[in-house]
Amino acid sequence: MTQATPQSFVPDPQNGRLLRDAFGRFATGVTIVTAASPEGCAAMTANSFSSISMDPPLVMWSPARASSRLPDFAAATHFAIHVLSADQADLAWAVARNRNALDEAGLARNAQGVPVLDRCLARFDCAQFDMHEAGDHVIILGRVLHALVSEGAPLAFYGGRVAGIAPA
């Protein structure tokens, strides 16, 4: 397979699509982050998840500052990050499109009262540790209080699309 000649550019407002496409060349996992809010379950699909530290156990995710869902997560003292499996693509898109896509009646609550999905590849129950403004996003750090892990193929995000992947 031959590769196309790379396109070189200096990021600026005139070539935002090129920068977005370049960022999209990095395959990531897909998560759904949940928190309790005054209206019930706050949920957001995110691919900006990363482990940060083993000691203390820290993770991060990064919602857009312009998101109408950000205030729920900024105010939350606890949240849960669910790493999705390959068969959860429809759920990922549903939550991305609709803040009320999760049926709260069908959700369990963890020890901190956060609504949680009953199945995923991994779940990290977190206490909010810190928040940092970072350009047009906010970095939310969580201290992992409890984690769950199961077997399965992960859901990946690449170039604006999702797909299941198999281990090499």
Q: Is the pLDDT score of 2 beyond 70?
A: no
pTM of the full structure? 0.89
The string of pLDDT tens digits covering residues 65-122 is 999 999 999 999 999 999 999 999 999 999 999 988 887 767 999 999 999 998 999 9
pLDDT at residue 105, as a whole number:
67
Percentage of residues of the chain with pLDDT beyond 90: 68
- Which residue type does 56 have? P
Query: CB under 8 Å to 118, separation ≥6 — which residues?
Result: 106, 107, 108
| DSSP per-residue letters across 76-96 | -SEEEEEEPBGGGHHHHHHHH
Distance CA 34, CA 133 (A): 20
- 29-157 maps to CATH 3.40.50.10860: no
Residue 56: strand, helix, or coil: coil
Give pLDDT, residue 158: 87
Segments making up each domain of the chain, as ranges: 29-157
Structure token pair of residue 13: 């407002």
